[in-house]
Amino acid sequence: MPQGAKSVHTILEQSEKADLLRFTTVGSVDDGKSTLIGRLLYEAGGLYEDQLAAIRKDSGRFKREEFDLSLAMDGLKAEREQAITIDVAYRYFSTPKRHFIIADTPGHEQYTRNMATGASTADLAIILIDACHGVSIQSKRHAFIASLLGIRHMVVAVNKMDLVDYSEEVFRKVEEDFNIFAEKLRISDLMFIPISALKGDNVVKKSGNTPWYEGSALLSHLETVHVQSDRNLIDLRFPVQYVLRPDRNFRGYCGQLAGGVLRKKDEVLVLPSLRKTHIRSISTGEKEVPYAFALQSITVTLEDEVDVTRGDMVVHSGNLPKIQRETDAILVWMDEKPLKTGEVYLIKHTTQLLKGTVAHLHFSIDPDDLKRKKAKELKMNEIGRATVQFFRSVFCDDYARNRETGSFIMIDPVTHATVASGMIIERGHLPLMAKPDEKASVKSPFLHRQEGIISLKDRSRLLRQKPATLWMTGLSSSGKSTIAFELEKRLMAEGRLCYVLDGDNVRYGLNRDLGFSPQDRSENIRRVAEVANLFNEAGVIVITAFISPYREDRAQARKIIGAERFIEVFVDAPVEVCETRDPKGLYKKAKRGEIPEFTGVNAPYEVPESPEVHLKTGEESTDLSAGKVYQYLKERGCLEACE
């Protein structure tokens, strides 16, 4: 039967090429969820049979059992009665057009945790509503969690239409009620279908009982809803999962593309090193391919020998993710032990495992009415918005933009239990820090500088000194910190109160959210100047040791601290000398291109035009330099009390 054989072949081929729809079904047992799943699994499975039987023209060939819906239902119900059914169960079926995975989540017990789990990988959610009862609080809760987890397609299946005489009025009322609630949610595709899972109306085939309903049957909708473009195919995100080095000649980087399209010869940037290189080859398994796209597991090789490890991310140079130490996120708490702010947790984000903490819990969200509540902790199954701090930079996007790079899980460092899942969101509209140029404009009527009773003069008399800020500026390894600490030692020996603000130390704490871009460097200097100013107000002599390469930034620091207290000290050593000192090996790394924007190598240093003190540390000793600064302080009258 060559004719038939060819057609069978076509069906097989179509099926091999068919795509996948993952959906989650939510609703309680009473809403008829088991009946619906039972019917879908059975009837959809039969579709192949019908198609093949038609080709073979020999229906006797296949012995199909009579469909016993009650049996299918009882099976599912019995499972539910066992304790383990409080969990998500996965079920599978195929039609000639598409393959399906159902994440079947129970509607009541542990619903938040389970629904979030089921929804996390789903493209679509079916919310079951009993036509006899209308939209319940539970239905709203289910819709909210589904939208929170980023499900774009939602089907509201209004079930048990047979019990309300297939009344259009009942159906429209559900539609209306649900739409009002759904306005607050992010759902781009919402569809209502009147069904009877028990009788089979509008499940697999369109029903004659609902002539007023113009849409398609549930299964046709599931078979045709477009989900392929729900992936982010715009922003290239390639988290490196595994480094493949079978021999000396081959070094490949493996991982599943989390976003975008990657092509051979593309110029890419490796995070966090920011090394630029080009893609030499891309392969899936043994096959070399000219390009790869989101969700493919690939192996790439690079044109240059770059140090890349698991947890790094390859991106296009013009399209960077957020590189952050801190972010706002929606947390779904999943552990018996509630969330404690300030506690250290392990965090898994893409292929990175790092430590972090929840710095601040803004509020919890009541899934029933979407109202925000003040919260000190999050208990199991509660949802809240929090500020999360990472102890290492994370390369991420907002969850709404990319589910893969916008999500993370939190792990208890002792028990290793998964305690929470997090979705990264944009930070609030309130600017958390004023930008330098905005500083003057931050003049809220509610902000007043507070004046105390103790004056600066009082402090000066107590400490027998006039406060000042010695601003050391110069290249890395020019001797800023060494001189600063030497000077601090001398002053302390004399009984003067002074304090060194050192670049590295400040970046570990106060400024750990900042990088090395010109903007971040400016903000770094602004904050240091503000801190120096506060120390000066307290009467303390401050010595700062920052490269501070930009004239503009130093001028701003002078403005913040006040010209009368600001002493610019140019620590001047030729770059060649600094390079030979280089205790941290930074120049070497920078020259290899491993550190971008390194002052003196690939970022500029603007020499001070008229510093108060000019130290030539290439020639003179630390002692001599520190002595010069000390002398200057003395001459300026800083080492005596105010009149």
Partner 1 sequence: MEDYRISKLRLLEAESIHIIREVAASFERPVMLYSVGKDSSVMVRLAQKAFHPGKLPFPLLHVDTGMKFKEMYQFRDRFTKEIGAELRVYKFQKAMDQGTNPWDLGTIQCCALLKTQALLNALQEGGYQAALGGARRDEEKSRAKERIFSFRDEYGQWNPKNQRPEIWKLYNTLAGQKESIRVFPLSNWTELDIWQYIHLEKIPVVPMYFAKEREMILREGQLIPLDGPVPLREGEKPQKVLCRFRTLGCYPCTGAVRSAAATVPEIIEEIMTVKNSERITRLIDHDQDSSMEQKKKEGYF
Task: List binders of partner 1 among 383-422 (CB under 8 A).
Answer: 403-404, 407-409, 411, 415-418, 421
Q: Please, are residues 319 and 279 in contact by the beta-carbon 8 Å criterion?
A: no
Task: Build a one-symbol-per-residue string for 193-232: x at contacts with partner 1 by CB under 8 A, - elsewhere.
Answer: -----------------------------------x--x-
Interface residue with partner 1, options 10, 54, 137, 242 (CB under 8 A): 242
Q: Which of 2, 3, 16, 429 binds partner 1 (CB under 8 A)?
A: 16
Site for partner 1 in 76-105 (CB under 8 A): 79, 82-92, 94, 98-99, 101
Q: How far is the CB of 54 from partner 1 (least distance, A)?
A: 12
Nearer to partner 1, 43 or 572 (CB): 43
Whose Cβ is closer to partner 1: residue 94's or residue 482's? 94
Nearer to partner 1 among residue 99 and residue 360 (C-beta): 99
Question: What's the min distance (Å) between Cβ of 13 and partner 1?
Answer: 10
Piece in contact with partner 1 (CB under 8 A), picked from 115-123, 191-199, 365-373, 494-502? 115-123
Query: Where does this chain touch partner 1 (CB under 8 A) — which range of 10-18, 153-161, 498-506, 525-533?
Result: 10-18
Reference 142, options 107, 109, 172; nearest CA is 107
- Interface residues for partner 1 in 301-330 (CB under 8 A)? 310
Going by C-alpha positions, the residue among 511, 533, 537 that lies closest to residue 522 is: 511
> Letter for the amino acid at 278?
H
Measure CA of the first residue to CA of the last residue in the chain; give whole Å. 113
Number of residues counted as binding partner 1 (CB under 8 A): 82
Which CB, 48 or 605, lies closer to partner 1? 48
Burial of residue 142, with CB atoms counted within 10 A of its CB: 0-12 exposed, 13-18 middle, 19 or more buried: buried
Nearest distance from C-beta of residue 251 to partner 1, angstroms: 11
Structure tokens at 203: 């499940």
Kindly tell me which residue out of 250, 371, 562, 607 binds partner 1, with binding defined by CB under 8 A. 250
User: Which among 549, 544, 539 is positioned nearest to 505, based on CA atoms?
Assistant: 544
Please identify, among the stretches 273-281, 290-298, 428-436, 607-615, the one whose residues bind partner 1 according to the rule CB under 8 A: 290-298
Nearest to 63 by CA among 53, 51, 73, 75: 53
Q: How far is CA 377 from the centre of its chain?
A: 22
- Contact residues for 415 (Cβ-Cβ < 8 A; gap 6+): none
Q: Please count the residues of the chain.
A: 643
Tell me the C-alpha distance between 271 and 276, whole Å: 10
* DSSP secondary structure code for residue 416 in this structure: -
For partner 1, the closer of residues 331 and 590 by Cβ is 331
Q: Which residue, 54 or 137, has its beta carbon nearer to partner 1?
A: 54
Under rule CB under 8 A, which residues in 420-479 are in contact with partner 1?
421
Give least dist CB 198 to partner 1, A.
21
Identify which of residues 192 and 399 has a Cβ nearer to partner 1 in the complex: 399
Q: How far is the CB of 291 from partner 1 (least distance, A)?
A: 6
| Minimum distance from residue 232 beta carbon to partner 1 (Å) | 11
Which residue shows structure tokens 């392990």?
346
Q: Enumerate residues 153-172 that contact partner 1 by CB under 8 A.
A: none
Within 13 A of 171's CA, how many CA atoms are on the CB side?
A: 23
Of the candidate spans 42-50, 140-148, 183-191, 433-441, the one that interacts with partner 1 by CB under 8 A turns out to be 42-50
Half-sphere exposure of residue 638: CA atoms within 13 angstroms, side-chain side: 25
Tokens encoding 14: 């179509």
Cα–Cα distance for residue pair 509/55, rounded to 1 Å: 72
Q: Which stretch binds partner 1 (CB under 8 A): 60-68, 207-215, 461-469, 578-586?
A: 60-68
Q: Which 351-370 positions form the footprint of partner 1 (CB under 8 A)? A: 351
CA dihedral 299, 393, 583, 587 (to 10 degrees): 60
Interface residue with partner 1, options 29, 187, 272, 293 (CB under 8 A): 293
The beta-strand segments (E) located in 242-401 are 242-247, 250-256, 261-263, 267-271, 275-284, 287-289, 291-293, 297-302, 313-316, 322-333, 344-349, 352-365, 372-373, 383-396
Give the nearer residue to partner 1 in terms of CB position, either 37 or 586.
Answer: 37
Tokens at residue 29, please?
């047992």
Residue 295 sits in the site that holds partner 1 (CB under 8 A): yes
According to CB under 8 A, which residues from 488 to 517 bind partner 1? none
Question: Taking contact as CB under 8 A, which single stretch among the options 156-164, 216-224, 251-259, 365-373 is the one that binds partner 1?
Answer: 251-259
Phi, psi of 338 (to 5 degrees): -70, 165
- Residue 371, Cα to own-chain centre: how many angstroms? 24
